[in-house]
Structures are given as structure tokens and as C-alpha cells.
A = this chain, B = another copy of it.
Amino acid sequence: MMRCLPLFLCACSAAAAPNRPPATAADLLANSGASDWRAPDPEQTIYMDLPAGRVVIELAPDFAPAHAANIKTLVRAHYFDGLAIVRAQDDYVVQWADPDADTPRKRPIPAAKMGLAPEFVRGIDRAQPFTPLGDADVYAPEVGFSRELPVARDPRSRTTWLAHCYGMVGVARDEPPDTGSGAELYVVIGHAPRHLDRNITLVGRVLAGVELLSTLRRGTGSLGFYTSADERTPIVRVRVAADVPASERERLELLRSDGPLFRRWLDAKRYRTEKWFVAPAGHLDLCNALVPVRTAKAGDGNR
């Protein structure tokens, strides 16, 4: 019963005591300082170039160290270059892989490991930052943010895991839990499929270019898989940002989720003060509070 109490208190007290902030969420970001933001770690950032543009993904080695490392091994072996987007299911996921993975023509995988142990959950670690959302959640006893990623936690089992919000990147697998490797990845492009949490390894988040994936025509096969080669979008190349000359890297920044501005931003999202709102919710869903990303030029947000 202990684990239920915070949910109970939180869901009621938030509506009763709005404590409206003076600024809107947009105001707060417009008036932020350089120290409120951080750049992605180039060694943990992936550039996937499609014909229409670039998708930027920051990996989450805190939560999926083996999968993040394996993906970088695959990237550096040029495994993904020339592969394709193989699936687009509306209100669900877009997925990429070797289209010939199930045939004798499949691309060899030289250095990376295939079939990794699941990284569905990890232990709660005091060294790991955690900013509570400050609101209840349908799927987990506690939710919040850790190093700019949406996370859920269960204090009773002392476990924590990444949450399947829009733009989160996961490792596709077959029925046995240890069949994922990172050679086949998906991105959430619809309402958060939180029932996947703790069932599959999430490994990062799209920081820019998610609209290049979310607008792809949907596959007409089962589960949104494309049924012919001409429907697929080719992957031009994938690189680790650290392997790209510094002057050519994307200039992105994330709002620090452990800073004071982020907590004020959460409250501004929860208690909307824009005049348009006649009935501010007083509540906030984890996946409606994804950490803002901007291009490093001040005031030039990309989301």
C-alpha cells in the first residue's frame, strides 16, 4: 500500500493548489541562460542521414549501455549505410533494418554482438539524477526525468526504466527477450505505447528530424511493414557525431532536466497561464513534458 500513497496525494493536491507561475513555458525558454542548456555528448549521438534530411539520436548509455555500445559498433562498421526504413505503422512506430535480414542475402555483421541480454530495467542508483514530474502516472508508481530523458520508477522494487514517449528509440526484438541487438531500431511516432515499457530495450531519443520519420507513408503490410522495395526509404549513412568534424556537427542543446528552470517549465506546462486557456489542467502527463531541444543559436528552437 505504501507505493500508492504518493499517487493518491499527488493527483489530488495538484488540482487544489495551482500556484500559478508568472511566466509561460515559452517565456521561460526565451529568457533562459546558457547554463540552463547542455549539448548532446558527441560520443553518444548518432546522425542518420535520409534522402530528405538528418535524424539526430542521443543514445542512453545510463539505461542501455550494452545496446548503445553495440549500436555504435554497428554504425562504425557502416552496417546501416544503404539499409532502409522497413516499417511505418500509424500512431505507433517507424522502424529500420536490413530488408534482407531474413534471407541468405542479409548483410554480414562483422564486429557487433547479436542477441544481447535485455536492458529493460535497471536498478535505482543514488548517483543517477532524477527530477520528479510532480504528477501521477497511469503506468508507473513514479515518473520524471533523468539526464533529459523521460523515466519511470518503482521504489518498491528499486528499479527504473525509460518511458515509451514520442520520439523515443528502441531495439526491436523477436519473441525471446534476448533477441535484440540494435541492428533493427524503432522510433515512437504516435501516442506513447507505454505498455511496451519494461518489455523491450529503449536506447535513446530523437533530438531532431523526427518529422522525417513521422511523415513517411504508412506500410500496407501487417504491422505497417512495407511490402515492396520501392516503398522503403533508403538510409544514406549513419555516423557517430564524434566521428564527424566538430565544425560540421549539429548545434543542438537540451534543457537540463536537473536545473531550476526545468522545474519552472514543468509548472508552466501544468498550469497554463496563456490567456487562450480557460481551464488549465493542473496536471501534466510525462509524455507531454518532453525536454525541449533547441539549436544552439539563441531563440532558434527546433521543436
Contacts and interface: CB of A to CB of B under 8 A. Distances in A.
Interface of A: 1, 3-4, 7-8, 11-12, 90-91, 118, 120, 135-139, 165-167, 175, 177, 190-195, 197-199, 210-211, 214-218, 269, 272, 275-281, 283-285, 287-288, 303
A138 B139 contact: no
13 contacts: A90-B210, A90-B303, A91-B210, A118-B278, A175-B276, A191-B192, A194-B285, A195-B281, A195-B284, A199-B276, A199-B278, A211-B217, A215-B217
Contact of A138 (B137, B210, B269, B280): B137
Contacts of A288: 191-195
Contacts of A276: 175, 199
Contacts of A197: 281
Given A194-B285, A215-B216, 15 more contacts: A8-B8, A11-B138, A91-B166, A91-B167, A120-B278, A137-B138, A138-B283, A138-B284, A139-B285, A191-B191, A191-B285, A195-B272, A195-B277, A195-B284, A198-B278
Contacts of A218: 211, 215
A121 to B, nearest CB: 8
B285 A199 contact: no
B199 A279 contact: yes
Contacts of A7: 7-8, 11, 136
Contacts of A284: 138, 195
Contacts of A272: 195
